[in-house]
Structure formats: C-alpha cells, structure tokens
C-alpha cells in the first residue's frame, strides 16, 4: 500500500486539473503561451499518474477498471466485477 500522503497529493493534482481544464483548453486554442505558463504546474494533466483506487499501487494499473492487476484478480475471483469471470478450460 502506498502512503496516504501520496494518495492525497494525487487527489489534489486531480482537483487542480479539473479546476483549470477550461482555462488551459482556451489558452491552448488561442496559442497564448504566456498565460498558459502562469497556470500552476500541477494543473497540467501530464502530471497525473495512474494509481490504484484501492491500494495506491502505481504499477500494473488496469485503466478500464481503475485498479491494479492484483486487486483486479482478487475482485474478479470474488465475483465483484460485473461481466468478468475466471477462465477455465
């Protein structure tokens, strides 16, 4: 499990990205680099990192489900993810 401070920092970045999304899109559309540089660094979507919503794990992240591969396997085995079941042949 990752530290709570890392999760909190990521949530703060996500809020900033959402808050400045319209301004950023407008400045990029008109080509105004000066005002674009005045925005906070953490308002850039590039600075976001995909982390597991349950554990905070960064590696093995499965984008469609929002969890790491380990949590995905555990949840799928318990039948908690609709439409997903363990293969058997």
pLDDT at 72: 95
pLDDT single digits (tens) 6-49: 889 999 999 999 999 999 999 999 999 999 999 999 999 999 99
Domain residue limits, the chain: 1-48, 50-82
pLDDT at 25: 96
CB atoms within 10 A of CB 13: 19
As a whole number, the mean pLDDT across the chain is 92
Residue 67 has pLDDT above 90, yes or no: yes
pLDDT at 7: 87
The β-bridge partners of 68 are 61
Query: What predicted TM-score, i.e. pTM, was given to this entire model?
Result: 0.75
pLDDT at 33: 93
Question: What tokens appear for 14 in the block?
Answer: 């996500």
Q: Report the alpha-carbon distance of residue 87 to residue 74 in Å, rounded.
A: 14
């Amino acid at each position: 499990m990752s530290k709570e401070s890392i999760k909190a920092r990521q949530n703060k970045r996500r809020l900033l990205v959402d808050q400045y999304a319209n301004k950023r899109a407008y400045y990029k559309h008109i080509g105004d680099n000066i005002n674009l540089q005045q925005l906070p660094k953490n308002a850039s979507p590039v600075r976001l990192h995909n982390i597991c919503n349950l554990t905070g794990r960064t590696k093995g992240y499965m984008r469609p489900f929002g969890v790491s591969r380990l949590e995905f396997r555990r949840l799928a085995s318990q039948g908690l993810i609709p439409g997903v079941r363990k293969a058997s042949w």
